[in-house]
């Protein structure tokens, strides 16, 4: 059963990905930086305003999602996709909770 979770869906070292590797890896790194920037923005907003502690969870969710993109530069496994899905759900829930305190905010 545990072998299922470690099943590799995408291996960046695989010859199958050879023609796409030069796009796949930089894209994931840029995407990770994007998620880190949003997480930092939300954290700074929390430090300035302290409207709701949900912002800490929201910021952490963006940061963890960025970390999953960095892990994805090496390989994508079933457990990683599950963790990415959990992060996405946390981001959506955090957005719902946080935006009630910042109705005009984009994040």
Structural domain spans, the chain: 18-98
Q: For the segment 60-105, what is each residue's pLDDT rounded down to a tens digit?
A: 999 999 999 999 998 888 889 999 999 999 999 999 999 888 888 8
Which DSSP string corresponds to 61-82? HHHHHHHHHHHHTTEEEHHHHH
Structure tokens given for 49:
């305003």
Q: pTM of the entire structure?
A: 0.85
Compare 1 and 21 and report the one with higher pLDDT: 21
Structure tokens given for 97:
């909770």
Closest CA to 30 of 2, 58, 72: 72
Are the C-beta atoms of 107 and 91 separated by less than 8 Å? no
């Amino acid at each position: 059963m545990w072998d299922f979770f470690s099943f590799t869906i995408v291996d960046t070292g695989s010859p199958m990905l050879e023609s796409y590797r030069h796009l796949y890896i930089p894209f994931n790194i840029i995407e990770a930086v994007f998620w880190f920037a949003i997480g930092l923005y939300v954290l700074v907003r929390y430090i300035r305003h302290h409207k709701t502690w949900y912002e800490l969870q929201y910021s952490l969710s963006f940061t963890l999602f960025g970390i999953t993109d960095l892990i994805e530069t090496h390989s994508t496994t079933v457990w990683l996709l599950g963790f990415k899905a959990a992060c996405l759900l946390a981001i959506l829930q955090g957005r719902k909770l946080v935006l009630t305190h910042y109705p005009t905010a984009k994040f």
